[in-house]
Chains A and B, each alone.
With several copies, the nearest count.
Chain A
Amino acid sequence: MIDKTVGSVEEAVAGIRDGATIMIGGFGRAGQPVELIDALIAQGASDLTIINNNAGNGDVGLAALLAKKRVRKILCSFPRQHDSWVFDGLYRAGEIELELVPQGNLAERIRAAGAGIGAFFSPTGVGTQLAEGKEIRVIDGRLYALEYPIKADVALVSAYRADRWGNLVYRETARNFGPIMASAATTTIVQVDEIVPLGSLDPESVVTPGIFVDRVVAVGHRSWLDDGSFVGGVDIEGRPLADASTGSATGNRSATGEGTDQ
C-alpha cells in the first residue's frame, strides 16, 4: 500500500540537510506552509537557499527562519513589503544574498524544472537591469531573454486536502506556487488541512497528482474553516477577530501566542 502520509510535521521535515535549496510555497501568507516552516526551524537545517515569492512577513514563518540566520540566499520576486523588517535588516547588514527574479519568470522557471525544459526564451524583463548578462534573441521580431530552470532539493507546500497517494487540491488563491514547486523539487513535503480516503478526491479536480508528492502531513483546519466550511471571522492574517460572530474587525489585534520566535 502506498501511504505518503506522515504523523507529524517533525517527521515531515526530517532529513533536510544543511546547504539545501528549499522552495517554499505561498504568496504572502496565502498558501504559506507555516507549520512546515516552524518545523524546519525546529529541525535546525542551516545555510539554506530559499525560493519563495517574498522574503517573509512579520516575525513568523519564513521571517522567523531568516531571523535565526539559517538562510544564506533567497531567490524571490518581491522581498520588500511593509512588514519585511527581518529580511530588510539582514539584507542591509549584508547577511543575506538576494537574487531578484520577475514573478512570472520565477513561476515559469520553476515549471520548466518540473517539466524537463532545458531553458526558454521569455520576453519578460528584456531591456531591464534584471535581464543584464542574459542571452538575448530576436524571435519573430520580438526580443527575448534566455531563462534557465529553477529546481530544489525540497519543496514545502501548503494545500487543502490530500489522499494517501499524495494527490492534492488547494483552496482559492492559496494555490499559487504549490503545483509548480511540487513538480520541481527532489522531495516535496506538503501540509494539508486534512487527509481524505483514497478515491474521495474527484480525479477531474486533482490539481497536483501524487507523483509530485513525497510526504503529506495533516495540520488541521485553518481557523476560518470549520469542517471545510468557510466561517470567516478572521482578519487577513488569519487571526481571530475580536468578535467574530458579529463580524466586527480589529485588524491590528495580535493573536494569542503568535509573538516573535526569538
Chain B
Amino acid sequence: MSTDTSPATRITREQLAARVAQDIPEGSYVNLGIGAPTLVADYLPGDQEIILHTENGMLGMGPSPERGQIDPDLINAGKQPVTALPGAAYFHHADSFGMMRGGHLDVCVLGAFQVSQGGDLANWSTGAPGAIPAVGGAMDLAIGAKNVYVMTDLLTKTGESKLVEACTYPLTGVGCVTRVYTDHAVFDITPEGFAVREAFGDNTLELLAELTGLELTDAAAPGTREGE
C-alpha cells in the first residue's frame, strides 16, 4: 500500500478477510489458500461451525497452537503449525485431493495475480524468466470447490488492474473463479463478465470500470444475470 495510485476507498486486508468470512455460511467446508486467504479464518464467527480443510490431509483444522504446544506433525498447507478441533479427521494426500477434485468443498479462497472476465485464474507463476517454477496445490484448489473465491487487491502496486479481459500470466485454472473480493469491491463472474456485487465506500461502477479498463455490469441490477 506504499504507492497509492487510486483515489478510491480501499478497505484493509483485514476488512477484506472479514468481508469474505461474511459470505461463508455455517456448515460450509472451506479451504483457505496460503497467504492472505488464511486471514479469513480469524473472522469466521466463533459461534458458528465452519469446517476448514487443509489439503495436506485434514478436515476440522483449528487455530494456531499456544507457544510451547507446537506439534510439527500437525501443520497446514502453508506448513504453519495448527491444531485439530474435536470432530477432525486425517487422511492421505490422494484422498485429500480427491475430496477437492470431486467437488466436495463448498468454498475455496485463493489469492491471484490476475483473474479474467471469463473466470480464468493466474496465481502460480509470473512467468518471469529464470524463476523457479512451483505450483503446489494451486491448480487443484482452482478447480476444487463449488465456489472459488479470489481475495486480492484490485490493483497491483504499479496501478495495473488484476481483473483483466484475458490473463497474461500463466494460467492456474480455466473458467474456475466464481467471485472476486478486492479492496475496492466484490465482483461476481457472470456470462457477461465481471459484475459488481458490492462497491466499498465511494467506489462506483464507473470508477471501477475506469480503474480496471473493463466493461462492468451491476450484479444487483435486474436483467444482468440469472438469480443468485
Contacts and interface: CB of A to CB of B under 8 A. Distances in A.
A98 B133 CA distance: 9
A190 interface: no
Given A173-B54, A183-B98, A103 B140 contact: yes
B209 interface: no
A248 B67 contact: yes
Contacts of A211: 29, 51, 53, 59, 99, 104-105
Main secondary structure of the interface of A (DSSP, over half): loop
Contacts of A125: 139
Contacts of A7: none
A107 B56 contact: no
Contact of A177 (B69, B93, B130, B144): B93
Listed residue (A170, A172, A247) with the most chain B CB atoms within 10 angstroms of its CB: A172
Nearest to B132: A80
A177 B92 contact: yes
Contacts of B132: 79-80, 84, 87-88, 91-92, 98
A163 B87 contact: yes
Contacts of A88: 132
Chain A contact residues (Cβ within 8 angstroms of B): what range?
35 or more
A173 B75 contact: yes
A256 interface: no
Contacts of A206: 89-90
Contact of B137 (A102, A238, A246): A102
Interface in A169-208: 170-180, 183, 198-199, 201, 203-204, 206-207
B104 A100 contact: no
Given A173-B56, A224-B71, A129 B170 contact: yes
A78 B171 contact: no
B92 A2 contact: no
B70 A116 contact: no
A116 B57 contact: no
Contact of B68 (A105, A106, A128, A244): A244
A28 B137 contact: no
Given A30-B56, A128-B170, A176 B67 contact: no
A77 B137 contact: yes
A127 B174 contact: yes
Listed residue (A27, A87, A116, A204) with the most chain B CB atoms within 10 angstroms of its CB: A116
Contacts of A24: none
Given A179-B92, A212-B104, A107 B68 contact: no
Given A124-B143, A178-B92, A235-B70, A113 B59 contact: no
Listed residue (B69, B101, B104, B144) with the most chain A CB atoms within 10 angstroms of its CB: B101
Interface string B138-177: 1110011000000000000000000000000011111000
Contact of A29 (B49, B51, B72, B136): B72
A232 B89 contact: no
B94 interface: yes
Nearest to B66: A247
Nearest to B134: A80
Nearest to B81: A236
A162 B70 CA distance: 25
A199 B72 contact: no
Contact of B98 (A84, A102, A108): A108
Contacts of B1: none
A143 interface: yes
A123 interface: yes
Interface in A21-73: 27-31, 53
A204 B90 contact: yes
Contacts of B79: 27-30, 236
Nearest to A163: B87
Interface in B10-42: 26-27, 29
A172 B74 contact: yes
Given A30-B56, A234-B72, A247-B68, A175 B87 contact: no
Contacts of A238: 72
23 contacts: A78-B135, A100-B134, A104-B100, A104-B144, A110-B94, A115-B101, A127-B120, A143-B174, A165-B60, A173-B57, A173-B58, A176-B92, A179-B92, A183-B102, A198-B87, A199-B86, A201-B89, A206-B90, A210-B59, A212-B104, A224-B70, A234-B70, A236-B75
Q: Which 4 A-B pairs have the closest CB atoms?
A: A247-B68, A199-B86, A104-B97, A115-B98
